[in-house]
Amino acid sequence: MRPFDHKTTLKLASKGADITELRPFLEEPLELELLMVPAQGLEIITKDNRYYFKTNTLPIENATFCIVDIETNGSKPQKHQIIEIGAVKVRNGKIVGQYESLVQCNEISRHITDLTGISLEETKEAPSIQRVLNEFRTFIGTDIFIAHDVKFDYGFISAMFERYNMQPMLNRHLCSIDLAERTFSSYRYGLNYLNESLQLHHSATHHRALSDAITTTNLFLKSLKLLPDEVTTVEELIHFSKQAKRFKRPKFDPMQKEENKEES
């Protein structure tokens, strides 16, 4: 199945879509697509001859979220690749699984090594990109994909799937930055800043995939505790993360004040 456009996505997430609206995205007969599409990370259910994302009625506490972080050797999936991936599964507020792997590659610039600490030498014995992509697809299944700047991580991984002759991801997804901005006030919402200000992950190694995934997991769990009571399903959560009013940011950095106090 091909990725849905924005209009169809909104219908599948809310009032449902009919068969005529789904046909442009089908590559096989509908009955077969509904059996195959979970392999791309999505579940579609039917009710009264209309089609819906399963997450439309799935309670948040019953859902499994997969918090993902990747390190890459560049920003363009058409010419660059993933060099490390880390993922944490969460269900009902508890971590229920983890996945991490370095990825074999042929080129890592000095800048990327300085940023991540990952050298070309370290990846020589790592699994191939094809193997890691297959393992990750199996690991995430139909879970909801979460990342800190989800547009980059989700888009890069899905593009890599297609580059290696795999079907693109269709998992429902949300951005932990967007959700954080709508659940609490912070001077900045970068992951390193939030980790320092909120003490999310005491032994964090920034720009390493699993470490950043764990930090993002703790941030996501904090945001879930601050949700309004009326946000109860996964689709309501996704909608809230995009449409709810953002918290106003402080004019001055409270972390800077703490540093000044310590110095004095």
What's the pLDDT score for residue 255? 85
Domain count across the chain: 2
Average pLDDT over residues 11-23: 97
Task: Please check whether residues 29 and 75 belong to one and the same domain.
Answer: no
Q: Which two tokens stand for residue 65?
A: 């979220």
Judge whether 255 lies within some domain.
no
In a domain, 197, yes or no: yes
Could you tell me if 82 and 28 lie in one domain? no
Extract the tokens encoding 184.
Answer: 């609490």
Verify that 73 and 34 share a domain, yes or no. Answer: no
The pLDDT value given to residue 58? 98
Residue 86's DSSP bridge partners are 69, 100
If you count them, how many residues does the chain have?
264
**Residue 172, CA distances (Å) to 144, 197, 242 in order:** 5, 29, 13
pLDDT tops 70 at residue 107: yes
Mean pLDDT computed over every residue of the chain? 95
Q: Residue 197 above 50 pLDDT?
A: yes
Percent of the residues in the chain that have a pLDDT greater than 70, as a whole number: 97
Cβ atoms of 250 and 258 within 8 Å: the answer is no
**Mean per-residue pLDDT for 80-89?**
98
CB distance 82 to 71 below 8 Å: yes
| Rounded distance between C-alpha atoms, residue 38 and residue 35, angstroms | 7
pLDDT of residue 259: 56
Mean pLDDT of 22-37: 95
Does position 260 have pLDDT exceeding 60, yes or no? no
Residue 262 domain-assigned (yes or no) = no
CA distance 98 to 251: 38
Query: Angle at which helices 234-243 and 6-13 pack, to 10 degrees?
Result: 130
Is the same domain home to 136 and 221? yes
Q: Residues 80, 183: one domain?
A: yes
The pLDDT of residue 14 is above 60:
yes
pLDDT digits (tens, 9 = 90+) for 227-240: 999 999 999 999 99
Same domain as 10, residue 129: no
Domain shared by 32 and 153, yes or no:
no
Predicted confidence at residue 257, as pLDDT, reads 66
- At which residue do the structure tokens 């800190």 appear? 148
Quote helix, strand, coil % in the chain, to nearest 5.
45, 15, 35
| 163 & 237 share domain | yes
Residues 123-146: tens digit of each pLDDT? 999 999 999 999 999 999 999 999
Instruction: Evaluate whether residue 182 is within a structural domain.
Output: yes
**Burial (CB count <10 Å: 0-12, 13-18, 19+), residue 144:** buried
The encoded tokens of residue 71 equal 């390190």
Question: For residue 203, what is the domain's CATH number?
Answer: 3.30.420.10
Looking at the chain, the whole-number percentage of residues with pLDDT higher than 90 is: 96
Q: Mean of the pLDDT values across residues 23-39? A: 95
Q: What is the mean pLDDT of residues 6-11?
A: 97
* pTM, entire model: 0.95
The pLDDT assigned to 256 comes to: 84
Cα–chain center distance at 58:
18
My answer on whether 113 and 167 are in the same domain is yes
Question: Which residue has 């699984």 as its token pair?
Answer: 97
Give the range of the structural domain holding residue 194, as residue numbers without chain letter: 60-243
Residues 177 and 66 in one domain: yes
- Residue 258 confidence class, pLDDT cut points 50, 70, 90: low
pLDDT tens string 41-65: 999 999 999 999 999 999 999 999 9
Show Cβ contacts of residue 208 under 8 Å, excluding neighbours closer than 6 positions. Answer: 71, 84, 86, 116, 117, 118
Whether 88 is covered by a domain: the verdict is yes
DSSP at 14: T
Report the alpha-carbon distance of residue 160 to residue 195 in Å, rounded: 29
Confidence of residue 263 (pLDDT cuts 50, 70, 90): very low
In the chain, the amino acid numbered 81 is: Q
Q: Is the pLDDT of residue 264 over 50?
A: no
CA dihedral 117, 120, 124, 130 (to 10 degrees): 90
Strand partners, 68: 87
Which residue, 104, 109, 110, is CA-closest to 124? 104
Dump the DSSP string for 227-242.
S-TT--BHHHHHHHHH
**Within a domain: residue 250?**
no
Average pLDDT of 14-29? 96
- Same domain for 231 and 139: yes
